[in-house]
A and B are shown apart, each in its own frame.
Chain A
């Protein structure tokens, strides 16, 4: 897979990056919806039900494959592009570039990598359990993992919560640049709509991470 990606032209790679990025952003909204169920004071009934549905529904399972492929391709492409970019300037400048560019736009690979680290931790905590890779966890009466309890326990740990909050802020920066960049890459750039795209991207990049961030706050401060 890797070598065929290398043979793609730079623009093809970027178009895939953008397309998958937007796809992942849609997924993130779904994920947020499920997570917000944690805020319901019902002992995790809704949350577990949602988790159960996501874990067992066949349509979701099909999407899941696409989702994972999306993640992996997005990450692999990001790394390939970055390596090529480094290679394009073998001798660096003495004075680093002073050109004014959008905030953190030059650091997408770094914000991306931080998100990736979080993703791995997140997988270890939740997804691997579902796969049965990690044992010794709370199992409900009908033999399913109690995600509500796992989440609750994790958020009870202030270190984890802070890490979680920081990482979602980083993700917010990543998304803020990513949204409009994706449309630019997909060829959507029109004076009439650019402001709209920019504003929606920023709105999304604030609201969605904020939605996630509310949850640890809820568990830390209120619950």
Chain B
């Protein structure tokens, strides 16, 4: 395959970046998208150019590190995958591919396509946990959880924290991410005790960090590589209302 790549290059957080065009030939359709970038980088190094910096780690779709906005879609044109699981067979020979970093105020660019997502950690630190110390836990089967709720909790807990929801949302809203964590605990008995405090604190931090508001376009749900449902957002709204009113 022959490809033209238009990639965002930015030296560091303070510099202004620009798009740079590269062409690449002989790419196998079975190659993953990141392996294609590896080939590009190998090529750049050979030409004494700086390789393109992008976040990636596990390359099996679970760590949530890879984060590229490809041709107008976070994680590219395939559904329910991360970039590392995207394969070049999803593109056509001769395609031009535009690769941009996640864009959101709380996700500043560090270099090229690498962004800072510590905002997500800060939200979790506000209450994305059950406050239980090591060693004090009771016998596991003393807590019974119905299969239906445990499955729903697992659906929500599958979030990999990649930030595609924010990247896809026209408002750069983090509602899907936050609601996934709130939902997981809202659905489990373990999470009930701190439920009210949790949702209030996490939403407050989300707002403070400068994420946008949800306007129900559901782009997040479409782009989520783990197909987290927007019903989690509704559940969080419900939890939030109850927490504020009662």
CB-based nearest B residue for A77: B213
Pair B100/A94 contact, Cβ less than 8 Å: yes
Pair A101/B103 contact, Cβ less than 8 Å: no
Pair B237/A11 contact, Cβ less than 8 Å: yes
Cα separation A177 to B217 with both chains bound (whole Å): 9
Pair A93/B237 contact, Cβ less than 8 Å: no
Pair A87/B219 contact, Cβ less than 8 Å: no
Knowing A10-B203, A12-B244, A189-B235, the reply to whether A99 touches B168 (Cβ < 8 A) is yes
A57 within 8 A of B: no
User: For A87, what are the chain B residues with a Cβ–Cβ distance below 8 Å?
Assistant: 105, 210, 212
Pair B72/A10 contact, Cβ less than 8 Å: no
Q: Binary interface profile of A, 81-111, with partner B (CB < 8 Å = 1, else 0)?
A: 1001101111111111111111001101100
User: For B100, what are the chain A residues with a Cβ–Cβ distance below 8 Å?
Assistant: 93-95
| Consensus secondary structure, chain B interface | mixed
Q: How many A-B residue pairs have CB under 8 A?
A: 135
Pair B210/A88 contact, Cβ less than 8 Å: yes
A4 within 8 A of B: no
User: For B74, what are the chain A residues with a Cβ–Cβ distance below 8 Å?
Assistant: 99
Query: Which segment, of A37-45, A119-127, A136-144, A179-187, faces chain B?
Result: A179-187
A188 within 8 A of B: yes
Cα separation A53 to B238 with both chains bound (whole Å): 39
| Size bracket of the A interface | 35 or more
Q: Nearest chain B CB to A130's CB is how many angstroms away? A: 34
User: For B213, what are the chain A residues with a Cβ–Cβ distance below 8 Å?
Assistant: 10, 13-14, 81, 84-85
Q: Nearest chain B CB to A162's CB is how many angstroms away? A: 30
User: For A88, what are the chain B residues with a Cβ–Cβ distance below 8 Å?
Assistant: 104-106, 171-173, 210-212
Residue from the set A93, A102, A106, A186 with the largest chain B CB neighbour count within 10 Å: A93
Q: Binary interface profile of A, 153-185, with partner B (CB < 8 Å = 1, else 0)?
A: 000000000000000000000000100110011
Q: Nearest chain B CB to A109's CB is how many angstroms away? A: 8
User: For B73, what are the chain A residues with a Cβ–Cβ distance below 8 Å?
Assistant: 97-99
User: For B72, what are the chain A residues with a Cβ–Cβ distance below 8 Å?
Assistant: 93, 95-99
CB-based nearest B residue for A189: B234
Knowing A85-B171, A88-B171, A88-B212, the reply to whether A101 touches B237 (Cβ < 8 A) is no
Cα separation A113 to B212 with both chains bound (whole Å): 20
CB-based nearest A residue for B79: A100
Task: Return the contact of A187 from the options B19, B172, B215, B234 (Cβ within 8 A).
Answer: B234
User: For A95, what are the chain B residues with a Cβ–Cβ distance below 8 Å?
Assistant: 69, 71-72, 98, 100
Closest 6 CB pairs of A and B: A187-B238, A189-B234, A88-B212, A98-B72, A85-B171, A181-B216
**Further pairs besides A85-B170, A93-B69, A189-B233: 7, Cβ < 8 Å:** A98-B71, A101-B218, A105-B215, A106-B217, A185-B214, A185-B234, A186-B241
**Could you list some 9 contacts between A and B, CB below 8 A?**
A9-B203, A15-B237, A88-B105, A88-B173, A91-B103, A98-B71, A185-B234, A185-B237, A190-B231
